[in-house]
Amino acid sequence: MSAKSTDEAVEWWRGAVIYQIYPRSFADANGDGLGDLAGIADRLDHVASLGADGIWISPFFRSPMADFGYDVSDYIDVDPIFGTLADADRLIARAHDLGLKVVIDMVLSHSSDQHPWFQESRRDRTNAKADWYVWADPKPDGTPPNNWLSVFGGSAWQWEPRRGQYYLHNFLASQPDLNLHLREVQDALLGACRFWLDRGVDGFRLDVANFYTHDRQLRDNPPLEPGRRLEGVPQRNPYGMQRHLYDKTRPETLEVLRRLRRLMDAYPGRFTVAEVHDDLGAATCAAYVAGKDLLHTAYGFGLLSCAFTPAAIRAHIEEFERQPGGGWPAWSFSNHDVTRAVTRWGAPEDRAALAKLLVMLLGCLRGTLFLYQGEELGLPEAEVPFERIQDPYGRTFWPEYKGRDGCRTPMPWTAEAPNGGFCPPGVEPWLPVLTDHLDLAVSRQEDDPGSVLRFARDFLRWRAGNEALRTGAVRFVEVPPPLLALRRGEADGGPLCVFNLGREPVEWTLEGGPWTEDRAHGATLRGDTVRLAGFGGWIGCRPT
pLDDT over 90 (residue 265)? yes
Instruction: Check the CA dihedral 461-466-470-474 and report its sign.
Output: negative
- State which CATH number among 3.40.50.970, 3.20.20.80, 1.10.10.10, 3.40.640.10 fits the domain covering 12-109+183-213+250-463: 3.20.20.80
Per-residue pLDDT band at 544 (split at 50, 70, 90): low
Beta partners for residue 475, in sequence order? 487
Task: Classify each residue of 405-422 as buried b or exposed e, where b means 16 or more C-beta atoms within 10 Å of its C-beta.
Answer: bbbbbbbbbebebebbbb
pLDDT tens, position by position, 56-105: 999 999 999 999 999 999 999 999 999 999 999 999 999 999 999 999 99
Per-residue pLDDT band at 4 (split at 50, 70, 90): very low
Q: Which of 195, 189, 178, 325 is closest to 260 using CA atoms?
A: 189
CA distance readout (Å), 71 to 65, 133, 169: 6, 14, 11
Per-residue pLDDT band at 281 (split at 50, 70, 90): confident
pLDDT at 457: 98
Instruction: Give mean pLDDT, residues 170-182.
Output: 98
pLDDT over 60 (residue 505)? yes
pLDDT over 60 (residue 2)? no
pLDDT over 70 (residue 493)? yes
pLDDT tens, position by position, 295-312: 999 999 999 999 999 999
Per-residue pLDDT band at 491 (split at 50, 70, 90): confident
Q: Which of 55, 66, 71, 64 is closest to 23 using CA atoms?
A: 55
Instruction: Give mean pLDDT, residues 461-482.
Output: 97
The backbone region for 14, taken as left when phi is positive above 0, alpha when psi lies in -120 to 50, beta otherwise, is beta
pLDDT at 3: 43
Could you give the 3-state DSSP secondary structure of residue 323? Answer: coil
Residues belonging to the active site: 207, 275
Instruction: Give mean pLDDT, residues 258-266.
Output: 98
CA distance readout (Å), 339 to 40, 203, 382, 404: 23, 26, 9, 7
pLDDT at 236: 83
Range from 273-282, 323-332, 356-365, 465-474 carrying the lowest mean pLDDT: 273-282
The backbone region for 451, taken as left when phi is positive above 0, alpha when psi lies in -120 to 50, beta otherwise, is beta
Per-residue pLDDT band at 6 (split at 50, 70, 90): low
Q: Within 13 Å, how many C-alpha atoms sit on residue 13's CB side?
A: 26
User: What is the C-alpha to C-alpha distance for residues 223 and 382, in angstroms, rounded to an integer?
Assistant: 34
Q: What residues does each domain of the chain span?
A: 12-109+183-213+250-463, 475-541
CB atoms within 10 A of CB 446: 13
CATH architecture classification, 475-541: Sandwich (2.60)
User: Number of helices and strands (H, E) in the chain?
Assistant: 16, 19
Q: Judge whether 432 and 409 are in contact, CB under 8 Å.
A: yes
Could you give the 3-state DSSP secondary structure of residue 475? Answer: strand
Could you give the 3-state DSSP secondary structure of residue 264? Answer: helix
pLDDT tens, position by position, 398-453: 888 889 999 999 999 999 999 999 999 999 999 999 999 999 999 999 999 999 99
Tell me the pLDDT of the chain averaged across its residues: 95
pLDDT tens, position by position, 201-255: 999 999 999 999 999 999 999 999 888 878 778 878 999 999 999 999 999 999 9
pLDDT over 60 (residue 292)? yes
User: What is the C-alpha to C-alpha distance for residues 479 and 273, in angstroms, rounded to an integer?
Assistant: 32
User: What is the C-alpha to C-alpha distance for residues 232 and 217, in angstroms, rounded to an integer?
Assistant: 27
CA distance readout (Å), 522 to 137, 345, 499: 62, 18, 10
Q: What is the pTM of this model?
A: 0.96
